[in-house]
Amino acid sequence: MPHMTAFARNQWYVVAYSHEVGREELLGRTVLGEPLVLYRTEKEGTPVALHDRCVHRRYPLSASRLDGDRIVCGYHGFTYDTTGRCVSVPGQKRIPRTARVPSYPVVEQDSLVWVWIGDPELADPQTIPRARHLDSPGWVTVRGMEPIDADYGLLVDNLLDLSHETYLHGGYIGTPEVAATPITTEVDEAAGIVRVSRHMDDAECPPFYAKSTGIQGRITRWQDIEYHAPCLYLLHSRVAPVGVLPEADGSDPHGFHTEITYAITPSAPGKVYDFWAVSRDWATDDTEVTEFLRKSNHTVVMQDVDALNLLQKALSTEPAGYQELSINIDTGGLAARRILARLVEEGEKPGEKPEEKVR
Ligand code: FES
Ligand SMILES: [Fe+2]
């Protein structure tokens, strides 16, 4: 078995976008190896997450149907309420006391549905990192989700080192300056946050931004990454014509700010959900820009998906303990691995509260 990044339990993970969880269809997703079924209650519209296996013969509840707020198993009719308790079985009055499926703490915030995997007693919604731009007036977002057949650690590596844009995403978001410009890295170990910044003073404008913003000529381009381990990744992107800097008070009338969000959700060993979103507060009425960004970013994401599928296949044929060679560009990724290793360790201790996160 090649190296796989262990799962960090007692953490919040994005399981779905708000719009994916409804009442028409039960949504099945697997997070940290746990099969889940998601739906909304009829009156309040609150999202519910239950274990996706019926206690009777383990039929997936996600392939079943709703009766009000209850799931009726699609095989023999065991019926579960929103807490996972079985409230009806066919052909008899007595319901076995052990007839219940686990229910999971769920929080809906910033158009994301977060699920807590671990000891429910420890779930604290206050520790969920925010991505307000995904659900704020004045912002327009395009989004999607791609499953990848790769260790989630490979996606963390990928996103924390954007030098690959030059080689993997040339013609979309990559230009020579991305790989050529050194990064600065800041790590907040206690809070579990890694920041990686790359500020390009004079760079080619990649088609992704040239076509959407209308900027002609060279740009200053800033990429400021903020990774909240284990799941949420924010890339604050600024592009502006060369020489146009933000005002002394921090305002930036000539800069285009784009928030690029990823949620990295480990599904099963060697499988990860890649949630991606691009949000902007400029040209918000321009549907052509919206469709262009949707299409372009989907292409970029698929380039990563293909590369990671290929990389995982290659790694799977390597003997255990293979060597890597890291350089400066890997500083952020290596910091992220260290933090993930600590979160994994903390998640393995039963009944202990994970270290308070400072937000
Ligand atoms: S498997 Fe669900 S009722 Fe039989
Ligand atoms: Fe990429």
At 74-98, the pLDDT tens digits run 999 999 999 999 999 999 999 999 9
Q: Report the alpha-carbon distance of residue 131 to residue 359 in Å, rounded.
A: 13
Domain-wise residue ranges, the chain:
11-126, 131-348
> Which pLDDT score is estimated for 275?
99
pLDDT tens per residue, range 237-267:
999 999 998 899 988 888 999 999 999 999 9
The arithmetic mean of pLDDT across residues 268-297, rounded, is: 98
Looking at CATH, the fold of the domain delimited by 11-126 is given as Rieske Iron-sulfur Protein (2.102.10)
Q: What is the pLDDT of residue 321?
A: 84
> Which residue's alpha carbon is at the smallest distance from atom 3 of ligand 1?
76
Question: What are 46-57's pLDDT values in tens digits?
Answer: 999 999 999 999
Closest alpha carbon to 172 in 125, 206, 122: 206
pLDDT tens digit sequence for 149-170: 999 999 999 999 999 999 999 9
Q: What is the pLDDT of residues 166-211, one digit of tens each?
A: 999 999 999 999 999 999 999 999 999 999 999 999 999 999 999 9
Residues in CB range of 293: below 8 A, 6 or more apart: 142, 208, 212, 278, 280
Write the DSSP assignment of 71-99 as a string of letters.
Answer: EE-TTT--EE-TTSBEEE-TT-SPPPTT-
Residue 354 has pLDDT above 60, yes or no: no
For residue 29, how far is its CA from the centre of ligand 1 (angstroms)? 19
Query: Which numbered ligand comes closest to the C-alpha of 158?
Result: 2
Residue 151 DSSP code: -
pLDDT of 123-143, one tens digit each?
A: 999 999 999 999 999 999 999
| pLDDT computed for residue 21 by the predictor | 98
Residue 23 per-residue DSSP state: S
Q: How far is the CA of 173 from the centre of ligand 2 (A)?
A: 9
Per cent of the chain over pLDDT 70 is: 97
Mutate to test the pocket of ligand 1, among 37, 51, 54 (most ligand atoms within 8 A of CB): 54
Mean pLDDT of the chain: 95
Instruction: Give the per-residue pLDDT at 350.
Output: 65
Answer yes or no: same fold for 11-126 and 131-348.
no
pLDDT tier, 359 (very low <50, low <70, confident <90, very high otherwise) = very low
Q: Given this model, what pLDDT does residue 250 score?
A: 85
- Taking each helix axis as running N to C, give the angle between helix 287-316 and helix 152-160, from 0 to 180 degrees, rounded to the nearest 10: 130
Write the residue with the smallest CA distance to atom 4 of ligand 1: 76
CATH homologous superfamily of 131-348 equals: Naphthalene 1,2-dioxygenase Alpha Subunit; Chain A, domain 1 (3.90.380.10)
